[in-house]
Structure 1
């Protein structure tokens, strides 16, 4: 590229290259030895402390090794069977710590998120979901557009919503539009949905190109409007607020695809002549500025 200063390439001596290669080969041998230990335990159907430790070592090095996660769950199920709540909580807490540490360096490895789900679904109590939501906040703070983190957040919020009304609610946020909820349950879930809307707004205002936040918002808003019992006029006013938010995003970065996808959804939510004409006017004005 023109006008870009070139940086000097690192030039290694033959000795340095040989030393690096030797280090890599030593690391590979060590990994293979640990893998062989794990495979021997698995062949023997071993569920001992040593077998569990072999999976811990291997997963710390390679969290994408999904068959090791599967075997680890086999060992954990053996230990969870017949354990009381305190023992179950202690055992599962170790794995939650293991995955959390790995997520710091491998935030987009599916198997880490999947194993946390497995652990949480077997962990006693319901306060775990609020605690887990705090962890997701941290993860999305590190990478606000991590789609895997957003998918996991929706899972945690849905589980939290179910915990607010045990045995009574359909899946959240569809439950907000359901007649199956009591008034108390609806109020609790509505408050949660409104918290999530505020969360998406903060993420969007921090970065308009956060597609996951826009998408989540499009799933929440219709259900919240239903739960609030908004009439046509109320919905129209709510949509105008969304169009105002979109307009800020459009003028900030008119080429961002996530903004236009959300705009398409919002226009489609009420394709009236008035709405269409107003949005055509906004787009024409934006196009004129870009000329």
Structure 2
């Protein structure tokens, strides 16, 4: 019964998501991501590029896409960087070291996306091993893990740029942890101490609270949004506060299932998505 309900919701959600994302995510290839990134730049926005791999992608294939993305980011006018996914590349130091050396050569940040709680410790070990290869590293820290405040402290000590998210995977030690409260706990730990913080949420109320806290502490910060998800309301907050906006521009066929999963996990995003569609049609 639950599976039938989930399938029904998915069949209804997919056309809506495709319609909403058409203006934000034009295709699965790196060239598509670059086209969109340049369109964003024309609006005064920044870009992060990231390859969303399929489960059957080989580690070397994923690394190849990331290398190409790092090279491609140099063609953008505003400072851009590439987000990578270490677990499907098996945390391989040689493989990911190539990415770090190329990013250092281009003067770019190299950012590590977040995955399940079990991936946090090996990711930090990998980043520590890469410090000699590339000092400008970034880390995504979810608000819904008990360990996240400690990870924020680690990032501060190592001069790592942080992207704060609510998080997709629950904490095994505290599965019912309040995501917004956890998000703000990480923000509070970073405020006034981190080199730079990206507030990554489409929740306008939470974004306002986080950005104001960071601004009051004098911490360099920006708003980072995932392309294809609702953006108008939260971007209005960033404009009001005078905070730069960056978009995570994904490429790869695995993006649509990920974005659909976000909608299914967070039902209130449906209202945000409908508002975005209405605003988009009014702006045409």
Q: TM-score, normalised by structure 1?
A: 0.25
Higher fraction of strand: 2
Indicate the structure (1 or 2) with the bigger Cα radius of gyration.
Answer: 1
